[in-house]
């Protein structure tokens, strides 16, 4: 099964992000569906069902405190000259997310999951296949204003089903 570990967003935050993304209607832009918006902590890929139990046990031992996150500003991966991903940045809570991700990496290393080398906390909101007018797109994004805050009191082990209409996510375990 295809799995990842994530911080799922509150419904209100997802609605606000989805609302701001309504302006992006170009063919080459694939917006992340509202119900799928999340902060990825670790992509696991294809995982044997037997290994899922071991992963659950490791994740349940991770110790962290509830923390606040503030989302603010937009950015692009790899950069704004060659846009493949549009994201919203993490202002407050960045340090806590990085620490949580490091704990997850450390816990899973004995199960042969490679640690992240350059983990950059962000919230992917769209993937770009092509842009008709990159200059206009960059202008439109620069004019957007978005800020939101929420509390993180859990993270989730998720399963991803790849469907023709896009991925469908199912929560396996909440920690």
Known catalytic residue at 122: yes
The catalytic residue among 101, 122, 125, 155 is 122
> What are the tokens at 88?
């919203």
Please indicate whether residue 38 is annotated as part of the active site.
yes
String of DSSP letters for 118-135: S---EEEEEEES--S-HH
> Tokens standing for 3?
């799995």
How far is CA 56 from each of CA 63, 92, 160, rounded to the nearest angstrom?
14, 28, 16
Query: Angle, to 10 degrees, between the axis of helix 94-108 and the axis of helix 49-60?
Result: 130
Catalytic residue among 14, 31, 38, 42: 38
Q: So which residues are the catalytic ones?
A: 38, 122
């Amino acid at each position: 099964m295809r799995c990842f570990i994530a911080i799922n967003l509150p419904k209100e935050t997802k609605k606000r992000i989805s609302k701001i993304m309504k302006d992006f209607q170009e063919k080459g832009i694939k917006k992340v569906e509202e119900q799928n918006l999340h902060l990825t902590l670790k992509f696991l890929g294809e995982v044997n069902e037997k290994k899922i139990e071991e992963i659950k046990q490791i994740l349940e031992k991770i110790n962290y405190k509830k923390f606040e996150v503030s989302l603010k500003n937009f950015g692009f991966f790899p950069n704004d000259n060659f846009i493949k991903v549009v994201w919203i940045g993490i202002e407050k809570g960045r340090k806590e997310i990085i620490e949580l991700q490091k704990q997850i990496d450390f816990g899973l290393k004995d199960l042969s999951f490679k640690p992240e080398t350059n983990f950059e906390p962000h919230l992917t909101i769209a993937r770009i296949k092509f842009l008709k007018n990159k200059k206009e797109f960059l202008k439109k994004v620069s004019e957007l204003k978005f800020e939101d805050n929420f509390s993180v009191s859990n993270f989730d082990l998720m399963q991803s089903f790849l469907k023709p209409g896009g991925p469908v996510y199912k929560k396996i375990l909440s920690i």
